[in-house]
Structure 1
Amino acid sequence: MNTLSTYLVLKNAFFFQAAIGLSANILCLFFHIFSFLQHHKPKPHDLISCHLAFIHVLMFLTAVDVLPPNLLESLPFENDFKCKSLFYINRVMRGLSICTTCLLSVHQASTISPRNFRLARFKHKFTNNIVSVICLFWSLNLSLSSNIMLFTVASSNMSQTNLLQMTKYCSLSPMNSIIRGVFFTLTISRDFLLVGITLLSGMYMVILLFRHQRRSQHLHSTSLSPRSSPEKKATQTILLLVSFFVVMYSVDIIISSSSTLLWMYNPVILNVQILVVNAYATIAPFVQINSDKRIGDTLENMQSVCCQLLTS
């Protein structure tokens, strides 16, 4: 299979991925918005999940390389401004996805932590400052991605040389090695720190759940149900989500770092990176839908209402 056919296969795969991921995240987003309208004080978990779904929707909508060319050309702005704004928003959303997933993982760990543990004592302060933490994450990522606004240009701008093509429509102009090193160091430090915290909190939750399962088996050692216990299901869900998150973002960090440092562009590798970085955004809402009984009940109610309307 040659490079062009591989590129087209990857491009079609992303369109399919975007359709599924966008639909699932919009479903989660609307569900949480309706929940907020029904309750005066939303739960911290719902607030974080809603924020994560909103971020992933924007990630798909600002993927410049897959937007229809007619749509980009119809926007009443210069090509450079279109690239700067869309590419900047996409990079900010990528960083916020890492931050929010870390926040969700730490919140879940503090929720199931025993009362005599320090993490459980930290839960009250942590819960009351969720909005402040989210605002801090926005400020951090808006700042770390600010170099995109300065050095992003339209790929059609042939007046500059030595451009690093990041998408079909947008490129990075050469930047000072010191500036590039500073932003690279800050970004990679943020990514490794947050991915590491997410991995540690996931491992902590798995250990707690296994301990709880062992105690339950000891207390109810008479006849255990052949079905998987709720603790085991929760453990499997956490392992799936955290492991998938760590693997996908680790691959993304490696690809994006090597492309920036070596100043090399490969359309096939770029599309592999797009698939990888959006894989978590596609899987995460389905894990949330599967683990949140309220969403399943809402979907069943909607299905029954639709069936009644069709039969009447």
Structure 2
Amino acid sequence: MLIYIYIIETVEADHNFTIVGLEYSTLHCQTNQLGQNHSVAFGSVVIIRDLLFVILVMWSSLYTVNLLYKHRQRAQHIHSPSLSPQSSPEIKATHTILLLVSCFVFFHCSNNFVVFYLFHKPEKNSRLKRITGIFSSCYPTICPFVLLKNSKITSKLTSSLSKLRIIFS
């Protein structure tokens, strides 16, 4: 939040005309012209923040995957893989974690590339502003479906609904 104090102070409604120069601009609002010093400082701080937190998310996810792998190795003698045709819960959790992290990193980085391109492009493009909105909403939209995919409650609900459909058909 501290990074965006300057942006919050200078934000105004989006105008119906094109402004040429360095400004922070979204579909619904924009800032006044940023000076060259402010734009370099703002861009540098945002890049450092994003790299720090994306690396932190990736590191914690890989650490969790490593813990799941070690747990599976220790518990492998308890559960024989030949008894159950399903994959282990550790493997399912690992796949879910890796899928979520991959989606997060992809959409976050894609959104940031478009935002920085818009920030440094002299002429603002409303289509690219809409694309940033799409990129920023993709991960929160996809994430619940990925989490529900491996949920036992969801699979039980789906199977019971399909049984009801068969009965009433």
Matched, 1:230 2:127: no
Give 1:169 deviation, angstroms: 4.0
Structure 2 CA distance for aligned equivalents of residues 293 and 257 of structure 1: 41
Q: Corresponding residue for 1:162?
A: 20
Amino acid at match of 2:90: E
Structure 2 CA distance for aligned equivalents of residues 195 and 178 of structure 1: 26
Matched, 1:273 2:132: yes
Matched, 1:248 2:107: yes
Structure 1 CA distance for aligned equivalents of residues 34 and 50 of structure 2: 22
How many residue pairs are counted as aligned between the two chains? 159
Give 1:168 deviation, angstroms: 4.5
Q: Give CA deviations for 1:216-274 in whole Å, capped at 9, x if unaligned.
A: 33443473311121111111111111111111101112111222133442233222222
DSSP-derived class of the 1:162 partner: coil
Q: Corresponding residue for 2:10?
A: 151
Q: Corresponding residue for 1:187?
A: 46
Give 1:289 deviation, angstroms: 4.4
State whether residues 20 and 124 of structure 2, in contact with CA within 8 Å, keep that contact through their aligned partners in structure 1. Answer: no
Q: Give CA deviations for 1:255-312 in whole Å, capped at 9, x if unaligned.
A: 1122213344223322222211110111223344456667x59xx6xxx9xxxxxxxx
Please, which runs of 5 or more residues in structure 1 have no aligned partner? 1-140, 305-312
Structure 2 CA distance for aligned equivalents of residues 268 and 226 of structure 1: 48
Amino acid at match of 2:128: I
Structure 1 CA distance for aligned equivalents of residues 125 and 104 of structure 2: 24
Q: Corresponding residue for 1:211?
A: 70
Distance verdict in 2 for CA 1:264–1:214, change over 3 Å? farther
Written as runs of structure 1 = structure 2, the 5 A alignment for 1:110-125 is: none
User: Alpha carbon RMSD of aligned pairs, Å?
Assistant: 3.1
Amino acid at match of 1:197: L
Q: Which deviates further from its counterpart, 284-293 or 205-214? A: 284-293
Structure 1 CA distance for aligned equivalents of residues 85 and 72 of structure 2: 14
Q: Corresponding residue for 2:165?
A: none
Q: Corresponding residue for 1:257?
A: 116
State whether residues 165 and 265 of structure 1, in contact with CA within 8 Å, keep that contact through their aligned partners in structure 2. Answer: no
Choose which of 57, 61, 66 in structure 2 pairs with 1:198: 57
Distance verdict in 2 for CA 1:281–1:220, change over 3 Å? closer
Structure number, greater radius of gyration: 2
Distance verdict in 2 for CA 1:234–1:185, change over 3 Å? same
Structure 2 CA distance for aligned equivalents of residues 234 and 250 of structure 1: 24
Structure 2 CA distance for aligned equivalents of residues 169 and 250 of structure 1: 22
The share of aligned pairs that are identical, in percent, is 32
Please, which runs of 5 or more residues in structure 2 have no aligned partner? 162-169
Structure 1 CA distance for aligned equivalents of residues 19 and 124 of structure 2: 14
DSSP-derived class of the 1:226 partner: coil
Structure 2 CA distance for aligned equivalents of residues 282 and 222 of structure 1: 35
Structure 2 CA distance for aligned equivalents of residues 238 and 179 of structure 1: 38
TM, length-normalised to structure 1: 0.44
Written as runs of structure 1 = structure 2, the 5 A alignment for 1:18-29 is: none
